[in-house]
A and B are shown apart, each in its own frame.
Chain A
């Protein structure tokens, strides 16, 4: 099995696919965290919302692509509502209260989703693009997973351009580096934070709707993915795009190959990685702050 080249390629693709999903989730969380020291534990709930809203749009309209575009926007809109009503008020409250409030928000959103979509698992049975599998580098691999990989890479490229080559990106980088100085220089850090928050919510929603055809929408999916996302953020370091990408890849490779080579430890191997990073590089591998 291990001498078979196809095995390595398949597992590498599996890692990459999982990494892209984790990247979509963690990049928003990481930048929000890094920019404003704001921990949004309800971030996983936006992932679930993306899947459920995507399910409703796709099953009503019959078009997955419509869901793929509208669901992230809808999730960003819900994010805006939550920001205005709740998060904005908690900005000055300190991390402990923020954690408590967003922790409570998980349950509010969970029960709201249960009320709307019920307790049964939902999944798309028709209209899904890229069904079946593709021959790639000598292995048969599910086409839809290749699509997820492509989406992740495109989002990474887009965010890179946004951060490095636009005014908003410069403001975000300045805000992450030193919010107070940036503010003194006339940058509206609060406004920047709001936009970053919306982009983060939208990307979580995008991850949700992208995951829908390969997995299924079910209550609790947001809570389930949250842990892995937080591990990515801590491993990668706060506030940086590179950190989120490298963190996602590391966690995904560890999980995927760990499951195959040491299956008895599959449940804890991700935490071993977390522990190792915390011991040797407690600020994460690529933190945005303190590079100098």
Chain B
């Protein structure tokens, strides 16, 4: 008790000493899909976000953080309505979340014009920190090309000559394949085939996978996420391609959110991602222990994105001294070590600068173990037409 009192006194003294600090209630609008196809990701991000507030939001002095949550249903029109509601009715100071790039695209102009900062906790569309960038969009998750860029040179260096590409037919799928292709062909590799199955309508990848067999490819490089990733990886294993045409991809293919469902089918897949749960850092250990104790599941990269979004907002509040404009400006200047390693916001684009881990999945004793093979440090996107 006496200890607590002493801490309180000290905190008050610090607050008084810094002068103009007034108790402020910061409102965060958590804009996530809680229903619809991305509901699972929305839950992971929210869980991570709440844990981040618990871990970092405890020493804000008199300031408090209130969270208002809204469901985008992963639909652009709904997302925009909910964003307007958060800003105009709830008067939030900052919006965090947004899983779908289509929702981010719909919300972007409104955020920009109303000068409401958005801390993007998933949506990876390159354009949003490229030609459509805004000083009010701060991305703490990843960009589509950032994840895939290191894999091109990596495969070329390994002596892989001919690669077949496959991804769902939408912006993210094409951006991810393009980023890989550029690095791979620059390293002397050749693309022998590409397929872009429809995003929602494809239930069966059998015909696509069968077509890869006769293409003469040395390897298959893909991006799939969620249910499509589970289905694809299982079907790839079922068709027995693994011995001739190894599978590589963006790490969402074997995300910690569902790699246990893929099980043995994920064995041997090498992929790249900004976070895997087995990273050996003190921050990650703290995160995983607390997350698993609280939610009973392994914290996925999506949970980490929510966790780091909360961390970023807390740090910006601390750095701003209670001033609104200073808070907005501070969001893009934060750097810290999170569960995924060192992370900072690129002043040229407001996209995160972070390590990309190339890792392998091994199926051992009924579990998939993910081991880092190589780390591309501080991967940064080119400005791609972004000018604030």
Contacts and interface: CB of A to CB of B under 8 A. Distances in A.
Interface stretch (B195-203, B282-290, B315-323): B195-203
Interface string B261-276: 1111000000000000
A266 B197 contact: yes
A256 to B, nearest CB: 5
B9 interface: no
A61 interface: no
A17 B207 CA distance: 11
A105 to B, nearest CB: 17
A119 B47 CA distance: 13
B58 interface: no
Of the four ranges (under 10, 10 to 19, 20 to 34, 35 or more), the interface on chain B belongs to 35 or more
B207 A123 contact: no
A227 B213 CA distance: 30
Interface string B190-212: 00000111101111101110110
B206 A1 contact: no
A256 B234 contact: no
Interface string B34-59: 01110110110000000000000000
A284 to B, nearest CB: 22
Interface in B239-278: 239-240, 257-258, 260-264
Nearest to A18: B204
Contacts of A11: 207, 210
Contacts of A255: 204, 207
B207 A257 contact: yes
A11 B208 CA distance: 9
B37 A263 contact: no
A7 B214 contact: yes
Interface in A40-75: none
B230 interface: yes
Contacts of B211: 1, 7, 260
A4 B214 contact: yes
Given A121-B40, A216-B261, A133 B207 contact: no
B374 interface: no
B214 A121 contact: no
A98 interface: no
A1 B239 contact: no
B19 interface: no
A180 to B, nearest CB: 40
B231 interface: yes
Contacts of B240: 132-133, 140, 142
Given A7-B214, A122-B261, A123-B262, A216 B208 contact: no
Interface string B220-231: 000000110011
A260 B234 contact: no
B169 interface: yes
B230 A121 contact: yes
A120 B258 contact: yes
Contacts of A123: 230, 234, 258, 261-263
A266 B198 contact: yes
Interface of B: 35-37, 39-40, 42-43, 169, 195-198, 200-204, 206-208, 210-211, 213-215, 226-227, 230-231, 234-235, 238-240, 257-258, 260-264, 366
Given A119-B42, A227-B201, A266-B202, 8 more contacts: A1-B215, A10-B213, A11-B210, A121-B40, A121-B227, A121-B261, A216-B261, A219-B37
28 contacts: A1-B214, A7-B211, A10-B210, A18-B206, A111-B35, A119-B39, A119-B42, A120-B43, A120-B257, A121-B40, A121-B226, A121-B230, A133-B240, A140-B239, A214-B234, A214-B238, A216-B258, A216-B261, A218-B226, A224-B200, A224-B203, A255-B204, A255-B207, A259-B197, A260-B207, A260-B208, A260-B210, A266-B169
